[in-house]
Amino acid sequence: MPTFPSKEWAEEAIRLLNTDPEAELAGAGWEGDFGAIVLAEPGKLAKAFVAHLVPQGGRIVKFKVLADPDDLEEIDPAYVARAPFSVWKGLIQGTLDPVEAVLKRKIDLKGDIQPLMERLKYKGIADRVMARLETRFADEL
């Protein structure tokens, strides 16, 4: 069972996402890459976890773990989601709604939010992926 956050966890999530039957439809016409930053929290996560993802045609075609949040700034992705570990954990466990988290500024989201809002009808993809992805969390080891 992969631990969140880790390269192994992200690779399994991407594998599941890329095999979802709705993913191609949800990604049609999408433009822009993503950066995700899981901020460290004392007693929960010692070091930030940073990833860069490139979607194309409803699939994630490139994925890389970066050493530091500053490395992501050099890439300058179209979208960057930054939040503390406990917020990401709530999203993965389904106890925190992603739209609510953005609106309440629990997630700092950089980028044009309109294309994301247009794809809210595909939220079920993330729910299905998380339901199938067995996860151990860094603060539970």
d(CA 90, CA 96): 5
Dihedral over Cα of 106, 103, 125, 80: its sign: negative
Q: What percent of the chain has pLDDT over 90?
A: 74
Residue 25 has pLDDT above 90, yes or no: no
Dmax (CA) for the chain in angstroms is 41
Query: What pLDDT, in 10s, does the model give residues 41-79?
Result: 999 999 999 999 999 988 999 999 999 999 999 999 999
Q: Is pTM beyond 0.75 here?
A: yes
Which tokens hold the place of 28?
Answer: 């049609």
What is the domain partition of the chain in residue ranges? 3-132
Q: Which CATH architecture has domain 3-132?
A: 2-Layer Sandwich (3.30)
Which tokens hold the place of 81?
Answer: 């989601």
Q: Please report which confidence band the pLDDT of residue 19 belongs to, taking 50, 70 and 90 as the band edges.
A: very high
- Using left for φ > 0, alpha for ψ between -120 and 50, and beta otherwise, residue 81 falls in beta
Residue 118 has pLDDT above 90, yes or no: no
Q: Strand 79-84 relative to strand 34-39: parallel, antiparallel, unpaired?
A: parallel
Name residue, tokens 């739209």: 99
